[in-house]
Amino acid sequence: MESMIFEELQNAVIEGDSEKSVSLAKNALEAGIPPLDVITNGLAKGVKTVGDLFSEGQVFLVELILAGDAMKAGMSVLLPVIKESKAEMISAGKVMIGTVQGDIHSIGKDIVGTLLEADGFEVLNVGEDVQSETFMEKVKEHKPDVLGLSSLLTVTMPAQKDVIEKLKASGLRGDVKVIVGGAPTTQEWADEIGADGWAGDAVSAVSLVKQLIKG
Ligand code: B1M
């Protein structure tokens, strides 16, 4: 049953069918499947397939856009359920999260943000294509415990480094822990640019934030 719903969800994303993605996500919840499993084993696998086909030149940008939209449509059903599951908790800390300048990929970052919220963190999601200067201003204004920088493109990874450099230059680096993530990033990259941590997926991002705030 579960594997059939996951396969149908993957296909809905591959076909770029947002309506189907929404109705299947609802079916999955009704069947009692945990929403994070629906994202990980259904939607995310579908979008990964389209990404692979795109890099092999077998599908075009329009298919990539439609797949992204279908994934987001499904997530619009699932993320609120994750968020509500632990809404009563007292704030465990403040996390600001955004996708760096030049990069409009939002899906992974939004999952990380939602899981953090579900775990009791106050999350300020500052969006995508966020300039380094804007991160500076917002860190000064909101004083988060942790700043999370997402990057999905090899060409935008240097913007993560730029934010860290700017935090150092403006004397703010000691006030905020910085974590980085996104498919092309690695622990080695995080070490190289002087980040406090790296996470390869949303679940590890939550553990990392907890660890950094405790520490
Ligand atoms: Co884009 N895209 N895209 N894209 N896209 C990738 C990333 C790509 C790998 C596809 C490919 O060629 N195989 C490739 C990048 C190659 C590279 O640089 N290495 C690529 C490209 C080239 C592009 C464009 C340049 C295409 C073009 O225009 N010619 C363009 C760039 C636009 C821009 O940003 N300036 C582009 C555009 C788009 C869309 C807008 C169409 C759409 C995004 C829609 C949206 O986000 N609103 C899109 C999509 C959907 C993808 C793929 C298919 C899927 C990304 C995704 O959402 N994955 C992607 C292929 C792929 O990833 N295999 C691809 C699902 C998501 C759950 O995973 O984002 O990895 P992910 O997040 C994970 C972890 O990485 C981690 O946790 C998340 C959950 O577990 N994580 C963090 C993420 N952020 C974190 C932050 C943390 C910690 C963990 O702490 C702060």
Residue 47 structural domain: 2-85
**pLDDT tens for each residue of 148-159:** 999 999 999 999
Nearest protein Cα to ligand 1, atom 15: 153
Give the residue from 85, 108, 132 where a domain finishes: 85
**pLDDT tens for each residue of 99-139:** 999 999 999 999 999 999 888 899 999 999 999 999 999 99
Residues 13 and 35 in one domain: yes
CB of 78 shorter than 6 A to ligand 1: no
89 confidence band (pLDDT: 50, 70, 90): low
CB of 183 shorter than 6 A to ligand 1: yes
CB of 114 shorter than 6 A to ligand 1: no
Do 120 and 94 form a contact (C-beta atoms < 8 A)? no
Distance from Cα 152 to the centre of ligand 1, integer Å:
5
87 pLDDT exceeds 60?
A: no
Residue whose C-alpha is closest to residue 162's, from 104, 209, 99, 101: 101
Total domains present in the chain: 2
Average pLDDT score, the chain: 95
Alpha-carbon distances of 86 from 19, 97, 120, 121, 174, rounded to whole Å: 28, 20, 7, 10, 31
174 pLDDT exceeds 60?
A: yes
Low-confidence winner among 69-83, 84-98, 158-172, 201-215 (lowest mean pLDDT): 84-98
Cα distance between the two ends of the chain: 43
- Ligand 1 atom closest to Cα of residue 152: 7
pTM: 0.95
Residues 78 and 108 in one domain: no
Angle, helices 18-30/2-14, rounded to nearest 10 degrees? 160
CB of 48 shorter than 6 A to ligand 1: yes
38 pLDDT exceeds 90?
A: yes
Nearest protein Cα to ligand 1, atom 89: 181
